[in-house]
Amino acid sequence: MTRKYFGTDGVRGRVGEMPITPEFVMRLGYAAGATLVARDKMPAGDHPAVLIGKDTRISGYMLEAALEAGFAAAGVDVVLCGPMPTPAVAYLTRALRLQAGVVISASHNPYDDNGIKFFSAQGAKLPDAIEREIEARLDQPMTCMDSAHLGRARRIDDAAGRYIEFCKSTFPNELDLRGMKIVVDSAHGAAYHVAPKVFHELGAEIVGVGDTPNGLNINANVGATAPHALRCAVLDSRADCGIALDGDADRLVMVDAAGEIYDGDRLLYIIARHRTRSVPVTGIAGTLMSNLGFEHALARLGIECGRAKVGDRYVLEMMQERGWILGGENSGHIICLDRHTTGDGIIAALQVLSALRADGETLAQACADLALYPQKLINIRLPAGFDWAGDSGIQAAVAAARTRLADQGRVLLRPSGTEPLLRVMVEGREAAMVAEQAEAIAEAVRCAIGETRTEPR
């Protein structure tokens, strides 16, 4: 059965349009709740319970209320924690022994998007089978438990403090961040009241960026998807480094004192390189987008680089299948399974910083053996239902690019799992050729969908 509503990271879309409407989200809460009730046979008188967290989008209030109503109608208790990072909800669900966790967030997307994603009782993404079961229930009429069996709601007041202590526990006891000035960019998102405290309580002097959310400014020219703001703040404040998270704090980008930006591939390499000095690291799960230079640098360390489909759920699946503890994406999703069950921007930053402190190195020094190949990524918005894979003009452009690159690069076209975009990526040894071939393929896509290019890109 093909999933109708769930993408690679839950259900996501523009607020007010299907499926992100109050009515649908209430039905989604009910369908998820009914699935929990059917799967978890609770003792008589007990109800399954779920944790609901959210980021700082203004639509979170509306969707939180809709989810709460749906779960209550299905006989599921609700625990509300307010704005919290996605990985915090995963942790708290497990720590509080709840049956599921729910996050209301569209991650790095703009404020007028939103989404719903679920975690299991173990703090992991829901298996495909459970998502399909929820979708099947969405096609059935929504009913309501009798009044005596309706779910209740309560709020947990110490959620942030619990998560801060958990994050700090992943940093070595013998190390601290004293003497470091760190810029922390929270993207006006879910970590605005959490991330600065984690690094401050470990001893760092903190300069805050993106820490004044108003419901409309999440990810707006700040955060991991717009690291220029972090770079400027690091240079202006003469900080040792900078940390940028995205709206739900599950991805990470860093900047060094010279203003150099470090993506997920480079940060994951730093973590892996340091780990090899104390424990064997046989393999790391990357994705189809991971840089060839990253793969080659890992090979020099004796580490296999696997390539999963793009999406942290697929990275995690590969890690579990192969028994690996490290994985991630160049976008900044980094998973350290010996620290957390899911990708976590704050915890990933702590692993990088602990490696630098233990080895007495800067970001640049720790990455000296890693030379990334030039990559060009172009995003093109597609009309609904457009068959880009079957278009002869697009495929001819792809074939021509692969011929030009030969064995010195690669071409990847893939649809976004969260937005109506086709991502065109070309990678190779020569930056000029990479840019030329990426633009040629992008132009073929534009011609195929009837889009006229009106200005330089």
Amino acid at 197: K
Tell me the β-bridge partners of 425. Answer: 377, 412
Going edge to edge, which strands form the sheet with 100-104?
A: 11-14, 113-120, 100-104, 49-54, 77-83, 153-155
CA distance 188 to 155: 23
278 in active site = no
Q: Of 76, 120, 85, 121, which is closest to residue 103 (Cα–Cα)?
A: 85
The dihedrals phi and psi of 64, each to the nearest 5 degrees, come to -60, -45
Tell me the β-bridge partners of 10. Answer: 7
Q: Of 105, 97, 98, 101, which is closest to residue 124 (Cα–Cα)?
A: 101
- DSSP assignment of 175-232, as one string? ---TT-EEEEE-TTSTTTTTHHHHHHHTT-EEEEES----SS-TTSS-STT-THHHHH
Amino acid at 418: T
CA distance 307 to 286: 5
Query: CB–CB of 335/343 below 8 Å?
Result: yes
Query: CB–CB of 85/163 below 8 Å?
Result: yes
Query: CB–CB of 208/184 below 8 Å?
Result: yes
CA distance 277 to 216: 45
Catalytic residue from among 107, 186, 290, 354:
107
Task: Kindly state the tokens that stand for 194.
Answer: 């959490």
Q: What is the Cβ-side half-sphere exposure of residue 310, based on CA atoms within 13 angstroms? A: 17
- Residues catalogued as catalytic: 107
